[in-house]
Structure 1
Amino acid sequence: MRVVLAGGGTAGHIEPALALADALRREDPRVEITCLGTERGLESRLVPQRGYELALIPPVPLPRTLTPRLLTVPGRLRGAINAAASVLDRARAEVLVGFGGYVATPGYLAARKRKVPIIVHEANPRAGLANRLGARFTENVAVSHRDSALPHARFVGIPLRREITSLDRLAMGDKARSYFGLMPDLPTLLIFGGSQGARSLNRAAVAAAPAFRAAGIQVLHIVGPKNTEEPAPADGPQYVTLPYCDRMDLAYAAADVAMCRAGAMTCAELAAVGLPAVYVPLPHGNGEQRLNAEPIVAGGGGLLVDDADLSPEWIFGNLLPILSNADQVARMSEAAARLGRRDADVALARMVYDVVRSRGAQ
């Protein structure tokens, strides 16, 4: 089977594509997989690292507002479509799976031009322009929110890395805490703000550090590579800071509760491993992060706080009581796990195989 994946630009588009690629390879190591991308996206680093072929096409970001740049889009988009069509031809693609973003738009249009079957995967509650377009060309639409407005939507979830979906947090807890230099028997809070960190989370957490110590709570704080916030050293429970972490599976296993942003991948991973969280959605954009977290919070697996309301005082009144109550943490963990899905990669892989088989039977 020969598959082309179109999911470039951000980790939220690339990681689900790579998780699908891994699932396809586990099912059949002979599957030929090509990833569409551009030289400016994270895929230029992440895809080769995972051992998959990357085919580059010209980037065509679409303006969100009416600007003179719109006049340059048709010609540039035509070039990107032709480049994507050439990739489909070289790969002899039997199916194209798109995950949104600016790589997906020329991929969908090229696949339609070449009559290659299309599968659309949408990770967010509100589909972006590329996936709204792609969903018009196919009945094979996989979504991660049950109330998606896309036509022909089939709930699948977000494909996640195997080290996340196979994680047993309870079994790995002591080992994970030792890995980060944490104590084995204290309530543990994990704080992270995405790949670049989150300044508002960092400020509030560092200001609350004395209260964490006084309450007997230890903290694993991933501040981000460009942030320098760090609490002053003191006696008592640990407060470990890292500029970044490449073992988030162990960070999840070490923690009892997380405090973080509410990107689609973050929400999916935390629910899959049953880690309750305080979600602090990004204060800008279209409100998508709040929509990502709301089902988990409604189900009892977390709390929501606006970025503007996050403060040491909010942490004292709302988060510390939870961390100090093991029974409540356990209930919230079970609630989060009920809302998570660990087999989305397998479900989407089956969808790919079904589409290719049905095409071969025609």
Structure 2
Amino acid sequence: MRMIISGGGTGGHIYPALALIEDLLKQEPQSEVLYIGSTRGLEKEIVPKKGIPFKALKIQGFKRSLSLYNFETVALFLKSVHNSKKIIKDFKPDIVIGTGGYVSGAVVYAASKMHVPTMIHEQNSVVGLTNRFLSKHVDKISVGFKDAIKQFPANKTFFAGNPRAQQVANIQSDFKWSSYGLDDNKPTLLIFGGSQGALKINQVTAEAIKHFNGCDYQVVFVTGQKRYDSIMNYIDNNKINVGNNVIIKDYISNMPEILPKVDAIIGRAGATSLAEITALGIPSILIPSPYVTADHQTKNALSLVKNGAALIITENDLNVKRLTENADQIMNNKNERMLMKENSYNMGCRNSADLVLDMARSILK
């Protein structure tokens, strides 16, 4: 298969695309793939390091207020569509797949106008602006949350889960907590606000360390690289003792290898994170980011909550008391934790990439 794939801006769009590429090349090693991203997104750093052929388009998103910036946005979109057509003509793909982000809008739209088979994947429970636009033009639409199905044309849409889930589920890990100076036999809670860290989660967690020091479970607190120094300064200035069962890290590069050893997680509710959590069946306490479009992280989180796989704390309600009470509820009650684990696992889709590729092949027949 010759495939062009496009997804940009954030890891939530990039990692599902990479998972699809990995699965395709396992199934069909002779396949050729081209990734088209943006000049501004994380993909320009991540994708080339994977050895995947990459081209970048200059594109940007709309501002929600009236602005001259939006005229530039339209001009860049039209230019990106034009450039995409040239790339598509040269590469001659069998199919073009978009995983979200503004750049995928230009690429997939261009392909549809050239009558090249097209698909999109929507990771979130609330459909993004780009995929809402593309839904009228593509052949098939896969979704990561069943709640998103009703937001798309029924005759095109199918549930496949998130391709990242299959990638994570297949990882064989021999990681041991003892390599971090922790106990391999103690229940472990991971607190992680994302690669950049989350300010309020970090602040509340730092204050909660005094509580965690006296717990029968251990805590791995990942601050994010940009916020590590400020958190450590706060801990030093407030003379907070970090006990033997709490470890603070700025970043964990091998997170997929660590996740299978985690008993519960506190973090955001991005689509990729939830795909990883449910693929492995990890109980969670979700603190949705209030800074995302259409509050989609809250809706993502509620999909797990209503299935008994997670607890939720809004950022406005987040404080030391709420955080520690919820953590204790899961970590000190093995029966509840095991039930949440089962419910989480039952929500996971561990053949997501296979399902998307199978649908892609069906379009080509």
TM score, norm. by length of structure 2: 0.92
Question: Secondary structure, in 3 states, of the residue corresponding to 2:55?
Answer: strand
Residue 344 of structure 2 corresponds to residue 344 of structure 1: no
Structure 1 distance, partners of 2:167, 2:106, is 32
- Note if contact 2:59-2:73 (Cα within 8 Å) is conserved in structure 1: no
Structure 1 distance, partners of 2:260, 2:94, is 39
What's the CA shift for 1:162? 5.7
Summarize the Cα distance change of 1:40–1:306 in structure 2 as closer, same or farther, 3 Å threshold: same
Residue 319 of structure 2 corresponds to residue 311 of structure 1: yes
1:248 aligned partner:
255
Structure 1 distance, partners of 2:362, 2:284, is 36
Select between 225-234 and 148-157 the one with higher mean Cα deviation. 225-234
**Deviations for 1:37-83, whole angstroms, at most 9, x for unmatched residues?**
12221111111122211011221322323212222333322211111
Question: Secondary structure, in 3 states, of the residue corresponding to 2:285?
Answer: strand
Corresponding residue to 1:160 among 164, 179, 195: 164
- Note if contact 2:187-2:331 (Cα within 8 Å) is conserved in structure 1: yes
Residue 187 of structure 2 corresponds to residue 187 of structure 1: yes
- Note if contact 1:7-1:36 (Cα within 8 Å) is conserved in structure 2: yes
> Which 4+ residue blocks in structure 1 deviate beyond 6 angstroms?
none
Corresponding residue to 1:282 among 286, 289, 309: 289
1:49 aligned partner:
49
**Deviations for 1:209-259, whole angstroms, at most 9, x for unmatched residues?**
121121222111110011131456747542111111111123312321110
- Note if contact 1:217-1:237 (Cα within 8 Å) is conserved in structure 2: no
Give the letter aligned to residue 355 of structure 1: I
Structure 2 distance, partners of 1:96, 1:238, is 48
Question: Secondary structure, in 3 states, of the residue corresponding to 2:195?
Answer: coil
Question: Secondary structure, in 3 states, of the residue corresponding to 1:56?
Answer: strand
Corresponding residue to 1:271 among 275, 278, 282: 278
Question: Secondary structure, in 3 states, of the residue corresponding to 2:265?
Answer: strand
Structure 2 distance, partners of 1:251, 1:182, is 13
2:129 aligned partner:
129
**Deviations for 1:131-161, whole angstroms, at most 9, x for unmatched residues?**
1121101231111121321112200111116
What's the CA shift for 1:351? 1.4
Structure 1 distance, partners of 2:242, 2:109, is 60
Runs of 5+ unmatched residues, structure 1: none
Runs of 5+ unmatched residues, structure 2: none
Question: Secondary structure, in 3 states, of the residue corresponding to 1:269?
Answer: helix
2:206 aligned partner:
206
- Note if contact 2:166-2:279 (Cα within 8 Å) is conserved in structure 1: no
- After TM superposition, list the pairs within 5 Å mapping 1:222-233 onto structure 2: 222-227=222-227, 228=229, 229-230=231-232, 231=235
- After TM superposition, list the pairs within 5 Å mapping 1:319-334 onto structure 2: 319-334=327-342
Summarize the Cα distance change of 1:37–1:6 in structure 2 as closer, same or farther, 3 Å threshold: same
Summarize the Cα distance change of 1:24–1:240 in structure 2 as closer, same or farther, 3 Å threshold: same
- After TM superposition, list the pairs within 5 Å mapping 1:43-82 onto structure 2: 43-82=43-82
Select between 228-237 and 265-274 the one with higher mean Cα deviation. 228-237
Give the letter aligned to residue 280 of structure 1: I
Cα RMSD of the aligned pairs, angstroms, is 1.8
**Deviations for 1:290-339, whole angstroms, at most 9, x for unmatched residues?**
11111211111110001121111112322213211122211111111011
Give the letter aligned to residue 278 of structure 1: I
Select between 68-77 and 130-139 the one with higher mean Cα deviation. 68-77
Give the letter aligned to residue 194 of structure 1: G
Residue 152 of structure 2 corresponds to residue 150 of structure 1: yes
Give the letter aligned to residue 32 of structure 1: E
- After TM superposition, list the pairs within 5 Å mapping 1:108-123 onto structure 2: 108-123=108-123
Structure 1 distance, partners of 2:98, 2:309, is 30
Instruction: Give the share of equivalent positions with the same residue, in percent.
Output: 29
Summarize the Cα distance change of 1:71–1:257 in structure 2 as closer, same or farther, 3 Å threshold: same
- Note if contact 2:59-2:102 (Cα within 8 Å) is conserved in structure 1: yes
Give the letter aligned to residue 245 of structure 2: Q
Residue 245 of structure 2 corresponds to residue 238 of structure 1: yes
- Note if contact 2:176-2:184 (Cα within 8 Å) is conserved in structure 1: no
**Deviations for 1:256-315, whole angstroms, at most 9, x for unmatched residues?**
111001111111110111111100011233210011111211111110001121111112
